[in-house]
Structure 1
Amino acid sequence: MLAPTLVMIRRRERPMRRWMKRGAGLGGLVLLAVIGWLALRQDPVAPEPTATDIATADLTAPEVADDPEPPPIAAVPETAEAATQPPPQPAAAAPQPGAAPGQPTADGQAPAAPDAPTASATPEGASPSTPGSADAPPEADSYVTIVRLEKGDTISSVLQDLDFAPAEIGNAVQALSRRLTLKRLQIGQALTLEVRTPEDADAKPILQTLTIRPDARREITLQRDDNGTFSAAEKIFDVIAKLVRASGVVDGSLIASADDAGVPRPALAEMVRAFSWDVNFQHDMKAGDRFAVLIEQSWTTDGKLVDSGRVLWAELTTGGGRQTYAIYRFKPQRGADGFYYGNGQSVVKALLRTPLSLSRISSRFGMRRHPVLGFSRMHKGIDFAAPPGTPILAAGAGQVVQAGRNGGYGNWVKLRHSRGLATGYAHMSRVARGLRPGHKVRQGQVIGFVGSTGMSTGPHLHFELHRNGIPVNPLTVAQTSVRASLAGADLTRFKAAVARINRARADATVLQASTP
């Protein structure tokens, strides 16, 4: 007999329970999805704005729709417990097949789009924009610039470089030309321009004013009116005289020492010319010699220097203080303005001390060994060494006797003067243009240029002085040459001028010494 087999018979599960398990699983997933969706809908807590955020925030008012609808206001839970409860889910309509997100479905309703993050409000501390401020144009800015003319520049080219419109440049130049000769402007001339920046970033700048001062006494101002038309006006400044003085000690050269004392170069040149009748600046000046000068300058009423001035008085010591010269400016009733010593004697002599400025004597008058011929013979003049091309001056007023080639003298000029005197100039590179026999020359006029023509070993001037046809020492005669002297009413007026100048010297403004 077979043993019985025991079989466990499980009761068949109800379909309802299996569905409940599956439903519970799906319900958990749905709950998690809902919680995640709610978390995404919560607005993040905005951080406290910083100073940089406030400075860079966009303060433009947002655009407002024609018919704005108030946004839905989410219900705020009254208690923390209520806030944890999920909101009731509305029955969502099933989207129609093929309907794109955001497009209406068959029933005419568009599915709700997720809420987008909203822009932050006006930062703390910043003022919100007023309605319509975005449409108001910004105020136009203007600036002033100064331009100096360089070589080849014109006013038109400068305005072109500043990117003004061609029509505006033409109108401005035309208006200026009525008051100013534009072709005579100097290099370094300053132009002061007031320029307005256009409201449109792509537009050209606008010229408001242009001011130019062609000389210290005149100022031309170009002005744009409200209609955009240019007009030029001229202002003339009054001029007043001011006295300035300077003094110093010679250390090296007189020119460098005078520069250090602030003496203007034109005034220094005038002083040197006046003293050159009696002073050889190459040999007579010694270290420690002193100089002083009183200058009358012209200034405009607004403080612009008109000219470097003219010398009224100057004093110079030479030979280490052994000799002192003092000169005063004076104009006789019937004569030209000039310089005189304190006794009323003119500094001007009948003959210049040397026919070259700041030259060096390389060979003196008398017997010498000829540098070319090699034997001793009489040297009938004085040789002045100078660079080629140095201007040669007429030693005195006179008439041209010879001008051209003259054997071993090379290019040669001979002048006849008063009192039986005559001067000769040899070895010139060339004779001054237009100089012909019979022509009259004035003292100090350029008659030729240093060279080495004829029997010469290098560039120099051979200078001769003849008295009644006989060669004499030029230096001796020049030192004892006749001078003009004041007399009568001119001498009385001169003494009064000397006293007036001496009093004014103490009150004159001291010139500012130059800085290295």
Structure 2
Amino acid sequence: MLDQPDRSENPSIPPISSAPDAASAAAPDAAAAAAPAETAPPPTLVPIAPPARAIPAWMKLGAGLAGAGLLAAIGWIIVGQDPAAPTRSPDDAPPTQAAGTQAATPRAPAPTEAPDIAGMPQPETVDLPPIVHADAAPSAGTPQAADAAPPRDDDGDKPEPMDRYEATVRVEKGDTLESILRDMDFAPEEIRKAVAALKPVLKGARLPVGETLTLQVQAPQDNDGKPTLQALVIRPEARREITLERDADGAYSATQRTFEVVAKLVRATGVVKGSLRGSADAARIPPSVRAEMLRAFSWDVNFQYDVKGGDRFAVLIEQSYTTDGRLVGPGRVLWAQITTGGGKNTFNIYRFKPGRGAEFFYYGNGQSVVKSLLRTPMGLNRLSSGFGMRSHPILGFTAMHSGVDFAAPYGTPILAAGAGTVAQAGPYAGYGNYVKIDHGGGIATAYGHMARYAPGIRPGARVHQGQVVGFVGSTGMSTGPHLHYELHQKGRPVNPLTARASQRTGLAGKNLERFRALVARTDRARDGAELIATR
């Protein structure tokens, strides 16, 4: 709203008409002079809109130039933000303007002197044309951003279509190199050449189940073609890596890389819950390591009779690894411990090689674990009947049971408890198939109810400790497959689980000194060894 002047203070100012005509609007001073001042009635002030007034030509020209300059500036901003458009270094000089051309942003004309009358109407607002985005269709005279450039590689070239790729194949049971390459759909001639090149390097080694083959493959060049094997990497053994490559002439050549091996100490511990075998497996002890450990304890421990639930075991293993971290083998036992009778007894063994003798295990006092007789002639088997008087399961009356029985499946191997000479081999009364071995010094062992004899077991044959002499059966007076085992001293049967009928050797002199030093080193290494890794 425009504030009107007060006539009481300046009566010479004429009233403003609510609907002035064009002539009065153009010459307000003339209209005021024509009216007599003394006869004019008091003015009535009312709010009105400013009178319409023609816009001068110079204002229209200035507004048009300003709009064009704004559009030019917006266009340059859009071009500068386009990731595909080239960037300009701050040091680059701005482009020079051609002589006689309009500047990118025209300067607005300087305003004229303001009129003396406060109510003078203002120029109308000029509507600017809409902003045109870079992705919109260009209009005439409107600056546009450069077209988006296609994706390019680091060198500025368009990327080539991928025609090579890498594939990995896991070897499953029954796979061969030929079958794997056939499954990859290579041409038969290419498979033949690749296998022929690998054969001298593989040297008959089979692909290990679970191993991964890495292949570089050339994609088919047409719709009816087959892929081409460009390279292949295979690890038939932990220590060896073989690489097959194809040259430009299509010939294959194979090279081999051999890795160095380093030793690493790991340990495993466990508590007996259920069977000792299952508990050792739960502790992640490799089967071959477990067998070596139990074999060392077998001269003094009956694993079914002596080991109870809650007994503990531990083992220190030396394993070999390649320099890139591959396990070469399951390892070997350096130290082992087991408790029996619910923790009443503890056995510790250490691997040691005397100056003249075979490497094996010794107790901490330097005594060998090896006795002239094994405590039990089989592995982990259940004691089904003890030594002494009992009611005969077939005859029905009480009689002396002159040995111990171990229940085991048909065909379980039976080991000679010690070195000696076979004194008897053949059917013998209620014992069925029977073998008796004379160990000298008045000591003999007997084995009954065998299914059959091992090859070479006959009277007079020499056997060594741990040699297989027969297999578990149920011949003779037997209610099921088991081994009847007896120990005789000077012709009389004694309890093989409690008798002290055998002697063991011990270390002495320099061997004993070396052994004690080894025990100290092993104990220190054991405390710092990490737990065995999961396979």
Tell me, yes or no, whether TM beats 0.5: yes
| Counterparts in 2 of 1:137 and 1:495: CA distance versus 1, 3 Å | closer
**Could you give the per-residue CA deviations for residues 258-314 of structure 1, whole angstroms, max 9, x where no partner exists?**
333333332222222222222222232233322222111100011100111111111
> Would the alpha carbon gap of residues 173 and 241 (structure 1) be closer, same or farther in structure 2, given more than 3 Å must change?
same
The 2-side partners of 1:157 and 1:397 are apart by 50
1:462 counterpart = 2:484: yes
Aligned to 1:178, what secondary structure does the other structure show?
helix
- Give 2:324's aligned residue: 302
Is the aligned partner of 1:494 residue 2:515? Answer: yes
Partner Cα distance (1:390, 1:400) in 2:
20
1:185-200 matches, cutoff 5 A = 185-200=207-222
Structure 1 residues 137 and 304 mapped into 2: Cα distance closer, same or farther (>3 Å)?
A: closer
Q: Which residue identity is paired with 2:298? A: S
1:277 counterpart residue number: 299
The worse-fitting range, judged by mean Cα deviation, of 440-449 and 248-257 is 248-257
Point out the more displaced range, 338-347 or 255-264: 255-264
Q: Which residue identity does 2:424 align to in structure 1?
A: Q
Contact 1:261 1:512 in 2 (8 A): no
Measured in 2, the distance between the counterparts of 1:230 and 1:248 equals 51
Give the distance between the partners of 1:129 and 1:428, measured in 2 at CA.
Answer: 81
Identify if the C-alpha distance between structure 1 residues 480 and 400 changes in structure 2 by more than 3 Å, giving closer, same or farther: closer
Query: In 2, are the aligned partners of 1:213 and 1:219 still within 8 Å (CA)?
Result: yes
Residue 390 (structure 1) aligned with residue 438 (structure 2): no
- SS of the equivalent of 1:474 reads coil
| Equivalent residue number for residue 17 of structure 1 | none
Aligned pair in 2 of structure 1 residues 472, 285: CA closer, same or farther (>3 Å)? closer
For 2:534 and 2:172, the matched residues in 1 are separated by 29
- Give distance in 2, aligned partners of 1:296 and 1:508: 10
Give matches, 1:285-296, under 5 Å: 285-296=307-318
Relative distance call for 1:388 and 1:327 in structure 2 (3 A) is same
Equivalent residues in 2 for 1:9-158, closer than 5 Å: 127=149, 139-158=161-180
In the alignment, structure 1 residue 266 sits paired with structure 2 residue 288: yes
Measure, in 2, the Cα distance between the counterparts of 1:201 and 1:373.
Answer: 83
CA drift at 1:339? 0.8
Deviations 1:5-31 (A, max 9, x none): xxxxxxxxxxxxxxxxxxxxxxxxxxx
Q: Deviations over 1:74-102 (max 9, x none)?
A: xxxxxxxxxxxxxxxxxxxxxxxxxxxxx
Cα drift, residue 512 of structure 1: 4.2
Q: Which amino acid aligns with 1:329?
A: R
| Alpha carbons 2:305, 2:383 under 8 Å: kept | no
- 2:442 aligned partner: 420
Moved more, 199-208 or 176-185: 176-185
Conserved? CA contact 2:443–2:501, under 8 Å: no
Residues paired across the two proteins, number: 388
Residues in 2 aligned to 1:137 and 1:506: alpha-carbon distance in whole angstroms: 58
Q: How big is each residue's C-alpha offset from its partner over 1:383-414, in whole Å with a ceiling of 9 and x where there is no partner?
A: 11112121111111122222232332211222
- What is the match of residue 28 of structure 1? none
Deviation of 1:137 after TM superposition, in Å, equals 11
When residues 382 and 473 of structure 1 are mapped into structure 2, their CA distance, relative to the original with a 3 A threshold, is same
Secondary structure of the residue aligned to 2:410 is coil
Q: Which amino acid aligns with 2:488?
A: H
Structure 1 residue 178, shift from structure 2 partner: 1.1
Residue 471 of structure 2: aligned partner: 449
1:199 is displaced (CA, Å) by 2.6
State yes or no: 1:163 paired with 2:198. Answer: no
Structure 1 residues 388 and 296: alpha-carbon distance in aligned structure 2, compared to 1, 3 A threshold: same
The answer on 1:231 being equivalent to 2:248 is no
Superposition CA RMSD, Å:
2.7
Structure 1 pair 254–379 and aligned structure 2 pair: CA distance change class (3 A) = closer
- Kindly provide the CA deviation profile for residues 15-59 of structure 1, in whole angstroms up to 9, marking residues without a partner as x: xxxxxxxxxxxxxxxxxxxxxxxxxxxxxxxxxxxxxxxxxxxxx
Runs of 5+ consecutive residues of structure 1 not aligned to the other structure = 1-119, 131-135
Amino acid of the residue matched to residue 215 of structure 1? E
Are the counterparts in 2 of residues 360 and 384 from structure 1 also a CA contact under 8 Å? yes
Tell me the TM-score normalized by structure 1.
0.70
Aligned to 1:506: 527
Which residue among 388, 394, 403 is the counterpart of 2:425?
403
1:216 deviates by 0.7
Cα distance in structure 1, aligned partners of 2:352 and 2:376: 24
Amino acid at match of 2:503: V
Q: CA deviation at 1:509?
A: 1.8
Change (3 A) 1:442 1:307: same
Indicate the residue corresponding to 1:359 in structure 2. 381
In the alignment, the residues of structure 2 paired with residue 172 and residue 180 of structure 1 have an alpha-carbon distance, to the nearest angstrom, of: 12
Determine if contact 1:344/1:494 at 8 Å carries over to the other structure. yes
- How far did residue 510 of structure 1 move? 2.4
> Higher Cα Rg: structure 1 or 2?
2
Name the residue aligned to 2:244.
222
2:524, 2:393 → 1: CA distance? Answer: 56
Check whether the contact 1:140–1:199 (CA below 8 A) recurs between aligned residues.
no
Cα displacement (A) at 1:484: 1.1
Could you list the per-position Cα deviations for residues 172-206 of structure 1 after superposition, in whole angstroms to 9, with x for gaps in the alignment? 01111111134644444432222121332321111
Query: What residue identity is the alignment partner of 1:511?
Result: I
2:506 maps to which of 453, 467, 485:
485
Q: Percent of pairs identical after alignment?
A: 63
TM-score of the two chains, using structure 2 as the length reference: 0.67
- Counterpart of 1:211? 233
Q: Which amino acid aligns with 1:180?
A: L
Q: Aligned pair in 2 of structure 1 residues 462, 208: CA closer, same or farther (>3 Å)? A: same
The C-alpha deviation readout for 1:326-363, integer Å capped at 9, x for no partner, is 11110111211111111000111111111121222222
**3-state SS in 2 of match to 1:475:** coil
Are residues 160 and 149 of structure 1, via their aligned partners in 2, closer, same or farther at CA, if it must alter by over 3 Å? same
The superposition leaves residues 215-243 of structure 1 with CA deviations (integer Å, 9 ceiling, x where unpaired) of: 11111111111221101111111000011
Counterpart contact for 1:216–1:306, Cα < 8 Å = yes
1:199–1:129 CA distance, 2 compared to 1 (3 A): farther
Rounded Cα–Cα distance in structure 2 between residues aligned with 1:431 and 1:210: 51
Q: Is the 8 A contact 2:407 2:482 kept in 1?
A: yes
**Offset at 1:497?**
0.6
Contact between 1:140 and 1:196, CA under 8 Å: does it hold in 2?
A: no
What residue in structure 2 maps to residue 73 of structure 1?
none
Alignment check: 8 A CA contact 2:436 2:446 kept = yes
